[in-house]
């Protein structure tokens, strides 16, 4: 319809009657929005229409030009020529006196002014010459507009936005920030909201100028209005830097205590992030995190616990201090799960430091062994504790068995009770610990030694070591590790048995005698015949790799592991891989590890293919993939061409 | 502007003008959610809120809420002016307008809105011109009425 009527509308644009023309112009705006190709029809009349005196037509024309410039860079270049004309129009508007028709409270035609300013913004963006032409005018508008009423403020706001977005002079930018600062002090909430939003946009480019208004911004945090406090929170978080981090964190923490629940998560993660980037001392950092956890523990992100444990682990001199503070915090309140998890871990690791003597940095705290054990048992039994927390507490109890000097009967009792717990993960841990007490008591001290500092984002092996201590969600990592290397690790433990500080990694969750089963296996674990890996498919970030294993005891068997990795930005879902081989082969497809390949190199999907090739015929393999990626369904069928000869000879 | 809604304190919709093509079901859903959100706001709070990916500007006049949804690049303060201008036009036309006027003469309210805004953009910035256009439309209606009255259908 637009295409058919475009020429008609163009004719109407040039008709004498203003009533029809103003409507025709806005119709043209809509047509261009719907069908951008019609721009070249409506481009020529614009220049003529700009000479109009009628405000309605002028307004429509400005909107039309704005629309044209936004859609095509060629139009943008074309219309840069009219900047002087626009400047002239705006100047006349600003300098003319009061006109009954168009003025609102002392500002002549604010709608038209705002629209012109918006167009100037688009034309002046990244263009020195146009920006220079506008400088004087913008200064004039900024200083002359009456700001007692909303209309004036609206024009002023648009002027500030234009100054910020174009290449304006430095003095002008300072003027803009000052205007925003004045807005911030205004009593009208709307104006303050608008000021906070613009300052947020400016904070990247003119950081120091915005810093000057920091106290006012912090004031706005205390507003009861939710939209305002949200904006103020975002702006305050953006304004934190190394010099004001202590004061700002203080303010933000008091805000955290009183803020509405939907802002809590953002505030907590913001504080933690700021603390991480600008912490002046480690002790301050630990204190801050502790305070955040006690006030808003349930709203922090999942990796806060891991970060804190790593931080504490790294700060050797603060072990005693942190374990004491965590113990007192835990003694008061065991409902905040992240806090409980960190405290349990700390108490487990540094329990001896907790019990021995005093530490200069906190008040002397006399803690008895029974109190510590009682607290951990309380955590274990509390209905508020998540399964992950219980896991932490149980492990901590075990570690204390080597750290404490008393006898371990109480601990052994608790551990054996949990051997019949309903939760499988807890049960598995308890049974393993039980076995550790009974059969491998001599190894217990070595296994439960203090953990070495784990590198953040370390190798797969270290993550496997840490998985016993870390949250249950990391158990998935261990399961993807190929069984062969796990066997080798365990055998190393057996051979060296000299404080490798490596707790036995959990395998199949069969209760009872798991350890014994593993340790009884023969030493000769067959090294798989090494065949080079093959990348067979790549499309838009999704890669498919094949890795081959020829087990020596069954020469006719070939095990292929198909791994799908996704390095693009979007997830791949409903991923199905099917394979076909010639008739002489037997193919068995095992179930894949999943059907979603997460983006950015997340956990790959693996699938095992077993091919039985009794006749040693040349292997041919055809793969069919179906998946959803970037909003499209993809089906790919291809033959794997360059299979190495070792796969079938 | 994407749409403008007028609703009472009890949540009854008095006027709705949509400048984007949406299905009926979507319109109802948006209306319901937005009315709930705006009515939940306390009196002293600021007139702007963020909802989905739109900016909502609302103002309360007596018992009616005037609510506009604008895009990201639009100026919120000028939208408040737009709302105020519309109310002034209604006031001038109906003479001290109240909610009842809008309920009983909703087609006039729509006419006035259509003369003031077209496709979500301000069409005419002069109050005088908008009211003149409405007067002319009214005159046309009167003329039609007279013609129909005088026509007789008696064979």
Query: CA–CA separation, A340 vs A471, rounded Å?
Result: 13
* pLDDT higher at A554 or B23: B23
Confidence check: pLDDT of A544 > 80: yes
**What value does the mean pLDDT take over residues A534-547?**
83
Assess if residue A156 is contained within a domain: no
Crossing angle of helices A261-278/A226-239, nearest 10°? 10
Q: Which of B81, B83, B116 is the mutation pick for testing A, counting most A CBs within 10 A? A: B81
Compute the CA torsion angle A564, A566, A570, A575 (nearest 10 deg): 0
Instruction: Look up residue A597 and give its DSSP letter.
Output: B
Provide the pLDDT confidence category of residue A309 given band limits of 50, 70 and 90: confident
Say whether B123 and A154 touch across the interface (CB within 8 A).
no
Distance from CA of B19 to the nearest CA of A (A): 10
For residue A359, give its domain range. 328-447
Is A399 an interface residue toward B (CB < 8 Å)? Answer: no
Distance from the Cα of residue A295 to its chain's centroid: 22
Domain limit, last residue, from A424, A447, A470: A447
Structural domain spans, chain B: 3-153
Query: CA–CA separation, A49 vs A65, rounded Å?
Result: 10
Select from 3.40.50.620, 3.40.50.150, 3.30.450.60, 3.30.450.40 the CATH code of B3-153.
3.30.450.60
Question: Which residues of chain B fall short of a pLDDT of 50?
Answer: none
Say whether A193 and B133 touch across the interface (CB within 8 A).
no
Assess if residue A467 is contained within a domain: no
* pLDDT higher at B88 or A388: B88
- Taking residue A586's Cβ as centre, other Cβ atoms within 10 Å add up to 13
Say whether A150 and B77 touch across the interface (CB within 8 A).
yes
Work out the mean pLDDT of chain A and round it to a whole number.
Answer: 76
Assess if residue A337 is contained within a domain: yes
> Domain check: are A443 and A333 in the same one?
yes
Say whether B81 and A110 touch across the interface (CB within 8 A).
yes
Confidence check: pLDDT of A39 > 90: no
Query: CA–CA separation, A446 vs A394, rounded Å?
Result: 18
Q: What is the ipTM of this complex?
A: 0.89
Say whether A150 and B122 touch across the interface (CB within 8 A).
no
Assess if residue A542 is contained within a domain: yes
What confidence tens digit (pLDDT) does each residue in A132-144 have?
A: 888 888 888 888 8
Between vectors from CA A516 to CA A514 and to CA A517, what angle results, nearest 5°?
Answer: 65
Domain limit, last residue, from A447, A475, A500: A447
What confidence tens digit (pLDDT) does each residue in A316-332 have?
A: 777 777 777 777 778 78
> Domain check: are A641 and A546 in the same one?
yes
**Residue of A27, A29, A194 lying closest to B77 (CB–CB):** A194
**Which span out of A191-200, A443-452, A477-486, B143-152 was modeled with the highest average pLDDT?**
A191-200
Q: Which residues contact A53 (CB under 8 A, 6 or more apart)?
A: none
Crossing angle of helices A110-124/A55-71, nearest 10°? 20
Q: Domain of A633: which CATH number?
A: 2.60.40.1230
3-state secondary structure at position B80: helix
Q: Which of B18, B77, B85, B126 is the mutation pick for testing A, counting most A CBs within 10 A? A: B77
Assess if residue A359 is contained within a domain: yes
A227 chain-B contacts, CB cut-off 8 A: 45-46, 48-50
**What value does the mean pLDDT take over residues A399-421?**
77
Confidence check: pLDDT of A478 > 50: no
What confidence tens digit (pLDDT) does each residue in A217-255 have?
A: 888 888 777 788 888 888 888 888 878 888 888 888 888
Is B75 an interface residue toward A (CB < 8 Å)? Answer: yes
Structure tokens at A163: 């100054």
Q: Which residues contact A285 (CB under 8 A, 6 or more apart)?
A: A275, A276, A279, A311
Assess if residue A376 is contained within a domain: yes
Over B88-140, what HEC string results? HHHHHHHCCCCHHHHHHCHHHHHHHHHHHEECCEECCCCHHHHHHHHHHHHHH
Helix, strand, coil content of chain B in percent (nearest 5)? 50, 25, 30
Say whether A60 and B123 touch across the interface (CB within 8 A).
yes
B82 chain-A contacts, CB cut-off 8 A: 111
> Domain check: are A549 and A639 in the same one?
yes
Structure tokens at A50: 């700009």
Task: Check if the beta carbon of residue B20 is closer than 8 Å to that of residue A30.
Answer: no
Confidence check: pLDDT of A35 > 80: yes
Task: Check if the beta carbon of residue A463 is closer than 8 Å to that of residue A474.
Answer: yes
Structure tokens at A329: 């915090």
pTM of this prediction? 0.66
Structure tokens at A338: 């992240």
- Taking residue B60's Cβ as centre, other Cβ atoms within 10 Å add up to 15
The length of chain A is 649
Q: Which residues contact A123 (CB under 8 A, 6 or more apart)?
A: A69, A76, A79, A80, A83, A86, A130
Assess if residue A571 is contained within a domain: yes
Query: CA–CA separation, A604 vs A620, rounded Å?
Result: 25
Count of domains for chain A: 2
Say whether A22 and B73 touch across the interface (CB within 8 A).
no
> Domain check: are A439 and A350 in the same one?
yes
3-state secondary structure at position A274: helix
Residues A413, A419, A424, A429, CA torsion sign = positive
Q: Which of B20, B78, B128, B135 is the mutation pick for testing A, counting most A CBs within 10 A? A: B78
* pLDDT higher at A569 or A517: A569
What confidence tens digit (pLDDT) does each residue in A271-300 have?
A: 888 888 887 888 788 888 888 888 877 777
Query: CA–CA separation, A111 vs A102, rounded Å?
Result: 9
């Amino acid at each position: 319809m637009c295409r058919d009527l475009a020429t008609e509308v163009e004719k109407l644009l040039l008709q004498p009657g203003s009533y029809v023309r103003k409507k025709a112009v806005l119709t043209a705006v809509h047509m261009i929005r719907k069908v951008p190709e019609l721009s070249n029809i409506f481009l020529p009349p614009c220049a003529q229409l700009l000479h109009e005196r009628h405000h309605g037509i002028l307004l429509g024309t400005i909107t039309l030009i704005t629309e044209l410039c936004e859609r095509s860079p060629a139009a943008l270049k074309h219309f840069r020529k009219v900047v002087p004309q626009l400047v002239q129009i705006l100047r006349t508007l600003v300098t003319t006196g009061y006109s009954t028709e168009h003025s609102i409270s002392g500002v002549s035609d604010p709608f038209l002014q705002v629209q012109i300013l918006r167009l100037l913004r688009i034309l002046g963006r990244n263009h020195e010459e146009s920006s220079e032409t506008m400088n004087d005018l913008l200064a004039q508008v900024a200083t002359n507009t009456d700001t007692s009423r909303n209309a004036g403020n609206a024009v002023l706001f648009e002027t500030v936005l234009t100054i910020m977005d174009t290449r304006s002079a430095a003095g002008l930018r300072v003027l803009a920030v000052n205007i925003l600062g004045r807005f911030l002090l205004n009593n009208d909430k709307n104006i303050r909201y608008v000021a906070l939003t613009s300052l947020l946009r400016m904070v990247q480019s003119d950081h120091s100028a915005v810093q000057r208004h920091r106290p006012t911004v912090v004031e706005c945090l205390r507003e009861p209005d939710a939209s305002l406090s949200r904006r103020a929170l975002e702006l305050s978080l953006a304004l934190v830097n190394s010099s004001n981090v202590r004061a700002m964190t203080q303010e933000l923490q008091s805000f955290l205590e009183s803020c509405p629940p939907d802002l809590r998560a953002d505030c907590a993660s913001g504080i933690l992030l700021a603390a991480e980037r600008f912490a002046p001392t480690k002790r301050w950092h630990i204190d801050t995190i502790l305070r955040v956890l006690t006030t808003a523990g349930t709203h922090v992100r999942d990796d806060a616990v891991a970060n804190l444990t790593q931080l504490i682990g790294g700060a050797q001199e603060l072990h005693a201090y942190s374990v004491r503070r965590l113990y007192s915090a835990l003694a008061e309140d065991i409902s905040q799960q992240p806090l409980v998890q960190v405290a349990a871990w700390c108490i487990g690791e540094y329990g001896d430091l907790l019990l021995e003597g005093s530490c200069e940095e906190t008040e002397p705290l006399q803690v008895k062994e029974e109190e510590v054990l009682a607290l951990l048992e309380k955590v274990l039994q509390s209905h508020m504790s998540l399964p992950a927390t219980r896991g932490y507490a149980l492990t901590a109890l075990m570690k204390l068995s080597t750290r404490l000097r008393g006898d371990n009967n109480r601990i052994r009792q608790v551990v054996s009770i949990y051997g019949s717990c309903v939760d499988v993960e807890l049960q598995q841990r308890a049974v393993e610990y039980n076995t550790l007490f009974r059969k491998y008591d001599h190894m217990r001290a070595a296994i439960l030694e203090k953990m070495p500092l784990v590198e953040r984002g370390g190798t797969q092996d270290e993550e496997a070591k840490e998985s016993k201590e870390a949250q249950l969600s990391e158990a998935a990592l261990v399961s993807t590790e190929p069984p062969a290397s796990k066997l080798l690790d365990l055998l190393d433990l057996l051979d060296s048995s000299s404080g490798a500080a490596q707790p036995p990694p959990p395998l199949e969750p069969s209760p009872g005698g798991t350890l014994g089963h593993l340790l009884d296996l023969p030493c000769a674990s067959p090294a798989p015949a090494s065949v080079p890996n093959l990348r067979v498919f790549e499309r838009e970030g999704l890669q498919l790799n094949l890795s081959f294993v020829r087990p020596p005891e069954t020469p006719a068997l070939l095990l292929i592991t198909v791994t799908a990795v996704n390095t693009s930005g979007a997830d791949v879902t409903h991923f199905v891989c099917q394979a076909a081989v010639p008739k002489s082969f037997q193919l068995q497809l095992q179930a894949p590890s999943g059907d979603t390949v997460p983006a950015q190199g997340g956990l790959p999907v693996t699938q095992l293919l077993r091919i039985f090739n009794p006749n040693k015929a040349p292997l041919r393999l055809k793969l069919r993939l179906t998946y959803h990626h970037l909003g499209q369904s993809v089906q790919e069928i291809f033959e794997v061409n360059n299979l190495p000869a070792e796969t079938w000879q | 502007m994407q749409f403008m809604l007028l609703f009472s304190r009890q949540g009854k919709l008095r006027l709705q003008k949509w400048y984007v093509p949406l299905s009926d079901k979507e319109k109802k859903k948006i209306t319901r959610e937005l009315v709930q959100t705006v009515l939940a706001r306390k009196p002293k709070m600021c007139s702007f809120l963020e909802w989905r990916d739109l900016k909502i500007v609302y103002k309360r006049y007596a018992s009616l809420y005037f609510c506009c949804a604008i895009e990201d690049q639009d100026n919120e303060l000028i939208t408040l002016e737009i709302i105020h201008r519309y109310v002034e036009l209604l006031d001038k036309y109906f003479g001290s307008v109240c909610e009842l006027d809008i309920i009983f003469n909703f087609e006039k309210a729509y006419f006035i809105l259509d003369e003031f805004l077209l496709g979500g953009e301000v069409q005419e910035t002069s109050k005088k011109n908008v009211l003149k256009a409405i007067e002319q439309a009214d005159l046309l209606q009167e003329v039609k009425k007279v013609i129909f009255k005088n026509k007789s259908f008696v064979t």
